[in-house]
Amino acid sequence: MHSHPHVAPAPAEEALRGAELRVTAQRVAVYRALAMHPHSSADAVFGQVREAVPGIALPSVHNVLGDLVSANVVRRVSLPDSDRALYELAQPADNHHHVQCVVCGSVQDVECAVGHAPCLTPSQSHGMRVLEATVTFRAICSECERKSSSND
Ligand SMILES: [Zn+2]
Ligand SMILES: [Zn+2]
């Protein structure tokens, strides 16, 4: 009896192989961290993976994130009210936007209003072919609003 039970690959491993990346413990851990906590900074990812991958250092997390971004497995988002880049898993044909609290910086996904890129047409494209519009709705979350009104 040498039958191997068919074990479906974990999503992280499937995504890495699909992008022709070697499956490493560090890459899998970073992928899983972002699956659980989208819009994390490199520091936050480091905090999440250091338990799963003993001995991993912050520069390695930056390297892994760079590899995953280059391979389109991870998307890097720069938001006006975050002082550092945030990362989330990249989904094919995903054109979602973000709403961010200007006080605490918390981020949520917002569905694209039109459903495909670019969802906004610029009044003047200066001869360039527009690929996408990156929209960030700047907002105040209900928790921050509550805090500010109770301070008055
Ligand atoms: Zn807030
Ligand atoms: Zn997002």
Torsion angle of the four alpha carbons 11, 17, 22, 26, in this order, in degrees rounded to the nearest 10: -10
Residue 112 is assigned to a ligand binding site = no
Residue 141 is assigned to a ligand binding site = yes
3-state secondary structure of 98: strand
What is the distance in A from the centroid of ligand 1 to the CA of 143?
A: 6
The pLDDT assigned to 114 comes to 76
What is the distance in A from the centroid of ligand 2 to the CA of 79?
A: 10
> What CATH number is given for 1-91 in this structure?
1.10.10.10
**Chain-centre distance for alpha carbon 14:** 18
**Nearest ligand to the CA atom of 79:** 2
**Distance (Å, whole) CA 63 – CA 27:** 10
CATH class of 93-152: alpha beta
Q: What is the pLDDT along the chain (152 residues), one digit of tens a residue?
A: 444 445 555 699 999 999 999 999 999 999 999 999 999 999 999 999 998 899 999 999 999 999 999 999 999 999 988 889 999 999 877 788 999 999 999 999 998 877 777 888 888 999 999 988 888 999 999 999 999 887 66
* Domain residue spans of the chain: 1-91, 93-152
The pLDDT assigned to 24 comes to 96
What is the distance in A from the centroid of ligand 2 to the CA of 71?
A: 18
Residue 119 is assigned to a ligand binding site = no
Omega before residue 122 within 30° of 0, cis: no
Each residue of 69-97: pLDDT tens digit?
999 999 999 998 888 999 999 987 778 89
**Nearest ligand to the CA atom of 108:** 2
